[in-house]
């Protein structure tokens, strides 16, 4: 019974881990592709991307290390939080505080002055979800070291399982076939 519980737990754990890795990989590839296209001057409509808060400019609403889910397309209104690609290629997440002919006027909640106008073509998406503190975990998970650690854990689970199966096969039987 104990082995069935451990085997079931291991299978569930591995399935969840693989699902999280695949989702993280897809969202990150989507984000990289979108940032590249925006850098080329193309407008991105629809779809999702992710970003990680890297500074305290949006505190207290968003904290450094928060993971953001972004939705591209749709209208942005006053008070919405958006992420855009700066001219230098970095991601900036600030609140829309106004509109200008050149685009949106944004400002970090903790900043005293607004940013320069952001053209619609540079907008990666509107923040539609926040996982507090999960950004560092996500960055670590998809880093080369994180992927190596995940692969190592998977291999260890497989080796332990194989060793248990081998011990089970080699264990002497306590049943007596001669008994009446």
Domain boundaries, the chain: 2-140
pTM, rounded to two decimals: 0.68
What is the pLDDT averaged over residues 87-113? 91
pLDDT at 31: 77
Degrees, nearest 5: CA angle 149-136-95: 155
CA distances from 132 to 65, 76, 94, 158 (A): 7, 23, 16, 33
Closest listed residue to residue 164, CA positions, set 5, 12, 14, 18: 5
Question: Is the distance from CB of 83 to CB of 68 less than 8 angstroms?
Answer: yes
pLDDT at 89: 82
Torsions phi, psi of 107, nearest 5? Answer: -160, 140
What's the rounded mean pLDDT across residues 86-112?
91
List phi, psi (to 5°) of 157: -60, -45
* Best CATH choice for the domain 2-140 from the list 3.40.50.880, 2.10.109.10, 3.40.50.300, 1.10.287.3610: 2.10.109.10
**Using N-to-C axis directions, what is the helix angle for 2-39 and 144-170, rounded to 10°?**
160
Task: Dump pLDDT digits (tens) for 33-42.
Answer: 777 777 777 7
Residue 95: name the closest of 83, 105, 81, 84 by CA: 81
Asked if 140 and 82 count as a contact pair (C-beta separation under 8 A), the reply is no
């Amino acid at each position: 019974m104990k082995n069935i519980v451990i085997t079931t737990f291991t299978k569930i754990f591995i399935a969840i881990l693989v699902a999280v890795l695949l989702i993280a990989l897809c969202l990150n590839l989507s984000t990289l592709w979108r940032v590249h296209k925006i850098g080329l001057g193309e407008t991105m409509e629809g779809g999702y991307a992710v970003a990680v808060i890297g500074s305290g400019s949006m505190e207290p609403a968003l904290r450094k290390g928060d993971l953001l889910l972004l939705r591209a397309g749709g209208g942005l209104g006053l008070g919405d939080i958006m992420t855009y690609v700066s001219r230098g290629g970095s991601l900036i997440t600030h609140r829309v505080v106004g509109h200008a002919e050149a685009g949106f006027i944004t400002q970090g909640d903790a900043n005293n002055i607004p940013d320069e106008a952001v053209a619609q073509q540079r907008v990666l998406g509107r923040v539609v979800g926040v996982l507090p503190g999960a950004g560092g975990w996500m960055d670590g998970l998809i880093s080369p070291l994180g992927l190596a650690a995940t692969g190592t854990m998977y291999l260890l689970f497989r080796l332990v399982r194989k060793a248990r199966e081998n011990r089970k096969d080699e264990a002497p039987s306590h049943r007596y076939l001669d008994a009446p």
